Amino acid sequence: MVAAKKTKKTHESINNRLALVMKSGKYTLGYKTVLKTLRNSKVVLSGKLVIIANNCPPLRKSEIEYYAMLAKVGVHHYNGNNVDLGTACGKYYRVCCLSIIDPGDSDIIKSMPGGDH
Amino acid sequence: MVKFLKPGKAVVVLQGRYAGRKAVIVRNFDDGTRDRPYGHCLVAGIKKYPAKVIKKDSAKKTAKKSRVKAFVKLVNYRHLMPTRYTLDVTAAKEAKKRLEERFKTGKNRWFFTKLRF
């Protein structure tokens, strides 16, 4: 799986979109809740996009990708580690994976067509 | 977001006495019940996999080796790993009989092979 090298510009735009989701949308942070949203079939509470940090342990990463494949949910591999992802979410802790339930005003889901599966 | 924990889905049980065994979802209880306020499902699985049959075996031995021992259990979603495979067996009471029939017809070969770990 060769992802295109992220340019500075697109990386910043992902951060912007994430910030908008944090402000206006619904999301959950953390491995356990991400799996929960992927399993959930209720439209209101189900995940729409999953973002994984790049230093996520490979077993956990493949597990989330497999669940997302079954649920037909896009997976985005964030260009940064869990510290960076936490900062991008505006939190003072590390975030290894997060799930976006409702993008709010953000167009993050539309601009990530299918994610980097 | 597609609901994938449906009756007929092959799963691997992760916890408990039957950890590592393959099973089929027979019924879902997505919202839980009063006794079990969490998402869970009824699975029918293989307690004892059928043994490998070789050409040398007599008919009696083949019959003995092709026996499948089944179990039926209510399992929390958290303790299951869903797979991309499905198995069209949705009976709980006659789980053993149905599973044995399935095995004999040679369909769903993946399901009846022991998961090696």
Q: Return the residue in A28, A34, A38, A39 with the most chain B beta carbons within 10 A, the one to mutate for interface testing.
A: A39
Range of the domain at A7: 2-102
Q: Which residues contact B37 (CB under 8 A, 6 or more apart)?
A: none
How is residue B108 annotated by DSSP? S
User: Per-residue pLDDT averaged across B61-84, rounded?
Assistant: 92
> Average of pLDDT values for A49-62?
94
Confirm whether B115 is domain-assigned.
Answer: no
Beta carbons of A47 and B1 less than 8 Å apart:
yes
ipTM entry: 0.85
pLDDT score recorded for residue A116: 42
Indicate the average pLDDT of chain A: 84
pLDDT at B18: 95
Distance between CA atoms of A78 and A72, rounded to whole angstroms? 19
Q: In degrees to the nearest 10, what's the CA dihedral of B45, B115, A70, B68?
A: -30
Q: How many CB atoms lie within 10 A of CB B42?
A: 19
% of residues, chain B, pLDDT over 70: 98
The CATH number assigned to the domain holding A90 equals 3.30.1330.30
pLDDT at B98: 86
The whole-number average pLDDT for the span B27-54 is 90
Question: Which pLDDT belongs to residue A115?
Answer: 45
> What's the rounded Cα separation, in Å, for the pair B54 and A80?
53
**Domain assignment of residue B13, yes or no:** yes
Return the closest-CA partner of residue A84 out of A73, A98, A101: A98
Measure in Å the smallest separation between the Cα of B55 and chain A Cα atoms: 38
User: Rounded to whole angstroms, how far apart are CA atoms B101 and B104?
Assistant: 5
Range in A50-64, A101-115, B45-59 the model is least confident about: A101-115
- Say how many domains are in chain A: 1
Q: What order do you get walking across the sheet with A97-102 strand by strand?
A: A26-29, A97-102, A49-52, A74-77
